[in-house]
Structure 1
Amino acid sequence: MRYSANHKLETREKLLASSAMSAKKSGFSTVGVDGLMKAIGLSGGAFYSHFSSKDELFKAIVERELAQSLERLSGEKVLDSQKLERCLKQYLSMSHVEQPEAGCALPVLGAEIARSDVQVREAAQTWICRLHESWARILGSESLSWAILSQCVGALVVARMLATPEIQREVLKSSHDEISRRIAQQRPD
């Protein structure tokens, strides 16, 4: 059977999207190559026509997911303080807590990225630094940008560890309020 010229690219994109969703929902290391391929209706052997190893797939997922996060959280245009506030509200939301597969990869894959080889960590660093730079331009502070980025990711991790929605909401609201206070202090009067 002959496939179209785009078939391999389309299959690779399906594999990336499906694997990213699976990784953000259950962790990347929990699913084998056969399971990843089965999710898109192909055999495990077909995997190697797209990636040389599962580590190469993980690196591609990290790059793809963090590029998408950068786009959602800063975009190509200069980010203004109103857009930053909307991003913070969306990021620190119960829907983000409850649907990890639809959100930022850092809270769910951060520990796996940290344990990965240097190529994966370098890929993550590139995209995280781009987001940091975008926020630092708006905030006028490199350190505040790092603090907010870290607080957001950490707040989601903590909220997801908790069992009670009321306490999850409290973590998110407290983090949002503290970040908003710090941003307001940073602005010139």
Structure 2
Amino acid sequence: MRYSTEHKQQTREKLLASSGALAKRGGFAGTGVAGLMKAIGLTGGAFYNHFPSKDDLFTEVVRRELGNSPLARTSIDRPRLKRLLEQYLSLAHLHDAEGGCPLPPLGVEIARAERPVREEAEHWLVQLQQAWGATLGDPQLAWALISQCVGALMVGRMLASEPVQEQVLQASRTLLEQVLDEAG
């Protein structure tokens, strides 16, 4: 039975959304094609009607997740940047791995992935760095802030107790506030 182009596109969108959530929750590499398709109620064989390979799906997941981030805006003023960083370095975001930034849960997998996946991640990270660099007037500071934020969230998620997680996040928020005030 042939499905309409619209149905195929809807299925592809469901697969992308589901795969992004699954990847951020439990890793992409460890979830097989059958598991990805089962999550949307289809068999593994149907996967290849939507993507030539699992690597191609991962590239699309990275594009979608990084491209939809509120931090990836091309134009941002300093007060909005400060608010976004406070939200990023919050316990609510730390506890929302599935709905939050894909870099902490997927960074290692992106680093190990094939070149097209890494190129997609690089595209979005450079865009983010350029936007922040323009706002801050310092491209190197932008890279440092991005690294600090992602690292703080990753370290926070590694910890078992919420009070210690909050200490990590608060230390990073304080550091970023000092740096932003000095750079302003």
TM range, smaller chain = over 0.9
| Partner residue in 2 for 1:53 | 53
Contact 1:81 1:138 in 2 (8 A): yes
3-state SS in 1 of match to 2:116: helix
Which amino acid in structure 2 is aligned with residue 75 of structure 1? R
Query: What letter matches 1:85 in structure 2?
Result: K
Q: TM-score, normalised by structure 2?
A: 0.97
Instruction: Show structure 1 runs of 4+ deviating over 2 A.
Output: 1-5
Kindly state the Cα deviation for residue 3 of structure 1 after the two structures are TM-superposed.
3.2
Matches within 5 A, 1:47-86: 47-69=47-69, 72-76=70-74, 78-86=75-83
Matched, 1:5 2:5: yes
Aligned equivalent of 1:90? 87
SS in 2 for 1:119: helix
Q: Please give the root-mean-square deviation of Cα atoms over the aligned residues, in Å.
A: 1.0
149, 155, 160: which one aligns with 1:158: 155
Which consecutive unaligned segments of at least 5 residues does structure 2 have? none
Gaps of 5+ in 1: none
SS at 1:143's partner residue? helix
Task: Provide the C-alpha distance between the structure 1 equivalents of 2:105 and 2:72, rounded to a whole number of angstroms.
Answer: 20
- Letter of the 1:124 counterpart: A
- Contact 1:74–1:135 (CA<8 Å) still a contact in 2? no
Q: Which residue pairs with 1:108 in the alignment?
A: 105
Check if 1:121 corresponds to 2:82: no
Q: CA offset at residue 142 of structure 1?
A: 0.6
Q: CA–CA distance in 1 between the matches of 2:158 and 2:25?
A: 14
The Cα offsets for residues 65-111 of structure 1, whole Å up to 9 and x where unpaired, read as 11012xx01435x2111110110011001111111010110011000
Asked whether the 8 Å contact 1:25–1:101 carries over to 2, the reply is: yes
Q: Does structure 2 conserve the Cα–Cα contact (< 8 Å) formed by 1:100 and 1:108?
A: yes
Q: How many residues align?
A: 184
Corresponding residue of 2:32: 32
Quick one: distance in 2 between partners of 1:127 and 1:4?
32
Q: Distance in 2 between matches of 1:2 and 1:52?
A: 18
User: What TM-score do the two structures reach when normalised by structure 1?
Assistant: 0.94
CA contact (8 A) 2:66 2:72 kept: no
Preserved contact between residue 58 and residue 117 of structure 2 (Cα < 8 Å): yes
The residue type equivalent to 1:12 in the other structure is R
